[in-house]
Amino acid sequence: MAKPSNIADANLALPDTTEGRAPLDSALDDLIGYAIRRAQLKLFQNLIGRLAEHDLRPAQFSALAIIEQNPGLMQTDLARALAIEPPQVVPLLNKLESRALAVRVRCKPDKRSYGIFLSKTGETLLKALKEIAVQSDLDSTAALDGEERAELLRLLKKVYQD
């Protein structure tokens, strides 16, 4: 039989219900990681909506861009670049191949390995997707001027490239 709760007996500090109170997450506002995550959510929500029109997710867009810059790269290298586990690359590539956006080509020296390339369709779509991503970034950071946007990007790169 369940033990009755003593919550009603506890001396709990109840939140003030007056107007003008702080947002629920205000205790986290001074944490850089929290601020970055909130900003990332805002940017990704915008980008996800725009990529959905092309039946793609941000990871698939990122994969296309990485493949374009590194034609013939191996699946393990793509996984490393995307910061995902190698088995997670397989369904991602299956989706891209099923849409004729990328192709896996067996490597001659090592018949067990495959190089990944964009198809012509993938190249064409990626060109449009890059424009969409740029516009999504601009729209999501509209509160910043060009100088602020450049400074934010510089600082973020400094954090993640360290």
Read off the CATH number of the domain in which 43 is found: 1.10.10.10
| Confidence at residue 37, expressed as pLDDT on a 0 to 100 scale | 94
Work out the angle between the directed axes of helices 120-140 and 58-69 (0-180°, nearest 10): 120
Q: Is residue 161 part of a domain?
A: no
Contact status, residue 64 vs residue 54, Cβ threshold 8 Å:
no
Q: Is residue 17 part of a domain?
A: no
* C-alpha separations of 68 from 9, 19, 61, 154 in Å: 63, 53, 11, 24
Of 47, 62, 59, whose CA–CA distance to 136 is shortest? 47
Q: Is residue 44 part of a domain?
A: yes
- Cα angle for residues 66, 130, 50 (degrees, 5° grid): 115
Q: Is residue 46 part of a domain?
A: yes
Mean pLDDT, rounded, for 122-137: 97
Question: Total structural domains in the chain?
Answer: 1
Q: Is residue 48 part of a domain?
A: yes
Which of the residue ranges 6-15, 43-52, 128-137, 143-152 would you say has the lowest mean pLDDT?
A: 6-15
**pLDDT over 70 for what percent of the chain?**
83
Q: Is residue 47 part of a domain?
A: yes
Mean pLDDT, rounded, for 27-44: 91
Structure tokens at 79: 């996984």
Structure tokens at 144: 């910043």
Range of the domain at 136: 31-142
| pLDDT confidence bin for 49, thresholds 50/70/90 | very high
Q: Is residue 136 part of a domain?
A: yes
pLDDT > 80? residue 5: no
Task: List pLDDT tens digits, range 62-96.
Answer: 999 999 999 999 999 999 999 999 999 999 999 99
Q: Strand 73-74's sheet: what is its strand order?
A: 73-74, 114-118, 102-106
Of residues 58 and 28, more confidence is placed in 58
Mean pLDDT, rounded, for 114-140: 96
pLDDT > 60? residue 59: yes
Q: Is residue 152 part of a domain?
A: no
